[in-house]
């Protein structure tokens, strides 16, 4: 087997709770140690992350610690990619623990698929009952639609993966990550790659563990931002990468419209026409997901599904207003007098 040089780029900020597990996994791969470099790009963490990174770097010369003054993921990724000198770049999140064979399986998948990017399946886990419910919702087709990297059991070409491995020439061909994007920078990059004719391969043998948000408030913030920034990605490309990205905003729009209609007509049936089928679907998905994992968290799941879908849809609606106003304002400013 040929062992190309691999750079693992870690965009990190305030990950003291998880960074030790992340780095231990990254540095314990069953791949030649002299063929792996780690670029830990820290966004000026205000917790113990920085000291923990420094401690790891002092014990493992393969780890290089870099500063990310702009504190957003896309700038961290670009800094790491630009300073790496490897044939392959793998993106790993600070909230993530990869399996010991992750790097090797990624390299093998390149040979088997001839893809430009390869990745695997995320196992989302939680450390409390609520976090476990959130993790189950994020691993459910009802929760995340067609995001195959969340639950696929077969190797296939897909439109995106999380924590992907990229051939060096991909960045030379389509550029780096879009630094305007605070969220969705990996989805946008993969969308750009596939539009340029690139291929993304998902192999379910490639596995990682992702630690979910622990509260509904944090889940709301996460998915609200996903929805908000997804509008900007669509605006840049003129169309969504997949129709599934539009489902939450259509649901929230329908829910809001029927609620308003019910209030105006004083007839709750309009709202119930949308809400009851959704509630039944959420309940069914909750029972199905819970019984396959832990029935004790079934009572949490319907509200988790609702928060996940509504937060994304609400963020998308706000994004529609914000980004369209911004574009019109810019156009008015440059309009010749």
The residue written with tokens 């960074």 in the block is 19
Structural domain spans, the chain: 6-211, 243-334
pLDDT digits 0-9 by tens, 270-291: 999 999 999 999 999 999 988 8
6-211 CATH choice from 3.90.550.10, 3.40.50.620, 3.40.640.10, 3.40.50.150: 3.90.550.10
47-105 pLDDT per residue, tens: 999 999 999 999 999 999 999 999 999 999 999 999 999 999 999 999 999 999 999 99
Contact in structure between 86 and 31 (CB atoms under 8 Å): no
Helix-strand-coil percent breakdown of the chain, rounded to 5?
Answer: 55, 15, 30
pLDDT (tens digit per residue) in 170-208: 999 999 999 999 999 999 999 999 999 999 999 999 999
With 50 as the cut, is the pLDDT of residue 244 above it? yes
Share of the chain above pLDDT 90, in %: 82
Rounded Cα–Cα distance for residues 160 and 171 (Å): 16
pTM: 0.90
Distance from C-alpha of 337 to C-alpha of 332, rounded to nearest angstrom: 10
Q: Strand 200-211 vs strand 117-125: parallel, antiparallel, or unpaired?
A: parallel
Output b/e per residue, 233-268; b: 16+ Cβ within 10 A: bbeeeeeebbeebeebbebbebbbebeeebeeeeee
């Amino acid at each position: 087997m040929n062992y190309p040089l691999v750079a693992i780029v870690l965009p990190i900020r305030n990950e003291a709770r998880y960074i030790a597990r992340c780095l231990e996994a990254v540095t314990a791969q069953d791949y030649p140690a002299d063929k792996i470099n780690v670029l830990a790009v820290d966004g000026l963490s205000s917790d113990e992350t920085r000291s923990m990174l420094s401690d790891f770097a002092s014990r493992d010369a393969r780890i290089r610690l870099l500063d990310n003054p702009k504190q957003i993921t896309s700038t961290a990724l670009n800094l790491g990619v630009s300073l790496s000198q490897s044939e392959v770049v793998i993106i790993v999140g600070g909230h993530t623990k990869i399996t010991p064979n992750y790097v090797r399986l990624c390299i093998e998948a390149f040979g088997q698929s001839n893809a430009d990017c390869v990745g695997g399946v995320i196992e989302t886990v939680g450390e409390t009952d609520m976090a476990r419910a959130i993790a189950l919702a994020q691993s459910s087709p009802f929760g995340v639609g067609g995001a195959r990297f969340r639950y696929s059991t077969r190797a296939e070409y897909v439109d995106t993966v999380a924590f992907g491995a990229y051939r060096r020439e991909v960045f030379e061909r389509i550029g780096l990550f879009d630094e305007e994007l605070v969220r969705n920078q990996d989805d946008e990059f993969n969308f750009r790659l596939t539009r340029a004719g690139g291929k993304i391969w998902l192999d379910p043998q490639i596995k990682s563990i992702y630690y979910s948000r622990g509260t509904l408030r944090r889940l709301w913030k996460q998915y609200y931002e996903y929805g908000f920034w997804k509008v900007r990605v669509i605006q840049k490309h003129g169309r969504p990468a997949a129709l599934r990205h539009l489902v939450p905003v259509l649901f929230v729009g329908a829910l809001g419209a029927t609620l308003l209609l019910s209030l105006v007509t004083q007839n709750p049936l309009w709202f119930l026409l949308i809400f009851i089928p959704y509630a039944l679907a959420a309940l069914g998905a909750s029972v199905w997901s819970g019984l396959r994992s832990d029935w004790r968290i079934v009572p949490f799941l319907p509200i988790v599904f609702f928060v996940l879908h509504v937060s994304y849809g609400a963020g998308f609606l706000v994004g529609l207003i914000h980004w369209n106003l911004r574009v019109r304002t810019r156009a008015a400013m440059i309009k010749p007098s």
